[in-house]
């Protein structure tokens, strides 16, 4: 059985224009695979298809009233300040008067603040935006 070589050339030419390391072509029970030159070191898919966002929001994980800190403590979070992952950026005071910290899951610089002290917040409400480091 002979094989028509014309699709091979067409695919090889196309591969040069595309960022592909290997192509497999199958038709009617026959086919071929092509590996691009210099593809011994396959490009790994280290980077996600979309670059990670530069920003991430810190949201309320409860219902209550937002405060920047426990009573009597100084406000630490301002636009421009640096936050480490695990840092408390503020507190939510619930109806009972109990408060729980709002913890940032990310490290970054506070790029934008959406909330004022004393404002009512709901679950999932974005409080501030971090520019990720």
Partner 1 sequence: MFKKILIANRSEIAVRVIRAARELGVKTVAVYSEADRESRHIAMADEAVCIGPGPSKLSYLDQEAVLSAAKNTGADAIHPGYGFLSENADFSELCARRGITFIGPPPSASRKLGFKSAGKAVATMADVPVVPGTEGDITTDVSKEVEAIGYPVLIKASAGGGGKGMRIVRSAAELKPQLEAASTEAKAAFGDGSVFIEKLLERPRHVEIQIIADNHGNVVAFPERDCTVQRRHQKLVEESPSPAIRPEVRRDMQAAAIRLAKAAGYQNVGTVEFLFQDGKFYFIEVNARLQVEHPVTEAVAGVDLMELMIRVAAGEKLPFGQDRASEIRCHAIEHRINAEDPDNGFMPCPGKIESIELPGGAGVRVDTHVYAGYTIPSYYDSMIAKLIISAGDRPAALRRSLRALGELKITGVKTTAGMHAKVVAHPVFMSGDFDTHFIEKTGLLDKKEPAHV
* Minimum CB distance to partner 1, residue 60 (Å): 9
* Minimum CB distance to partner 1, residue 27 (Å): 38
Nearer to partner 1 by C-beta: 63 or 88? 63
- Which residue bears the tokens 């966002």? 53
* Minimum CB distance to partner 1, residue 17 (Å): 41
Interacting residues of 39 by C-beta distance below 8 A, sequence separation 6+: 21, 22
Nearer to partner 1 by C-beta: 62 or 101? 62
Pairing of strands 64-67, 88-93: antiparallel
Nearer to partner 1 by C-beta: 15 or 125? 125
Q: Is-contact 121 64, C-beta < 8 A?
A: yes
Nearer to partner 1 by C-beta: 11 or 103? 103
Residues that bind partner 1 (CB under 8 A): 62-65, 94-96, 98, 120, 122-125
3-state helix, strand, coil in the chain (%, to 5): 10, 35, 55
């Amino acid at each position: 059985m002979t094989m028509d070589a014309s699709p091979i050339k067409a695919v090889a030419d196309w591969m040069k224009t595309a960022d592909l390391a290997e192509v497999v072509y199958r038709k009617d029970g026959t086919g071929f695979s092509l590996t691009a030159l210099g593809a011994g070191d396959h490009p790994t898919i280290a980077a996600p298809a979309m670059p990670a966002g530069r920003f991430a929001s810190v949201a309320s994980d409860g219902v209550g009233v937002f405060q920047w800190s426990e009573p009597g403590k100084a406000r630490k979070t301002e636009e421009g300040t640096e936050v480490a992952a695990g840092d408390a950026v503020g507190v939510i005071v619930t109806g009972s008067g109990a408060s729980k910290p709002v913890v940032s899951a990310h490290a970054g610089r506070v790029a934008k603040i959406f909330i004022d002290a004393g404002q009512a917040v709901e679950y999932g409400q974005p409080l501030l935006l971090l520019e990720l480091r």
